[in-house]
């Protein structure tokens, strides 16, 4: 049981790091534009990255709750 929780946390951290790296790449590209459109894109990218990370963390919490309650999840069917 603890092994499944640890795996879930590791996967969440790895996915969050990848999302942040992509966001960083887009942000550094956007910073080349010093006009108002560049700032709009910057805010948009930050919002999207934050949203993705929020979704990943929410999914992790639901998965850990399923593991603790020992519900039969989709992965145990296969």
pLDDT at position 2: 79
- The answer to whether residue 74 sits within a structural domain is no
Comparison of pLDDT for 71 and 39, the residue scoring more: 39
Summarize pLDDT for 3-57 with one digit per residue, the tens: 888 998 999 999 999 999 999 988 888 877 777 777 888 888 899 999 999 999 9
pLDDT grade for 77, boundaries at 50, 70 and 90:
low
Domain span at residue 36?
2-69
Q: Please, are residues 46 and 23 in contact by the beta-carbon 8 Å criterion? A: yes
Instruction: Give the per-residue pLDDT at 71.
Output: 60
Q: Alpha-carbon torsion 17, 20, 22, 28, what sign?
A: negative
Domain assignment present for 77: no
Number of domains in the chain: 1
């Amino acid at each position: 049981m603890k092994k499944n929780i640890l795996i879930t946390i590791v996967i969440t951290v790895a996915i969050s790091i990848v999302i942040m790296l992509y966001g960083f790449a887009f942000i550094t590209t956007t910073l080349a534009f010093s006009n108002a459109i560049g700032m709009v894109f910057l805010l948009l990218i930050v919002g999207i990255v934050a949203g993705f990370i929020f979704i990943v963390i929410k999914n992790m919490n639901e998965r850990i709750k399923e593991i603790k309650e020992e519900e039969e999840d989709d992965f145990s069917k296969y």
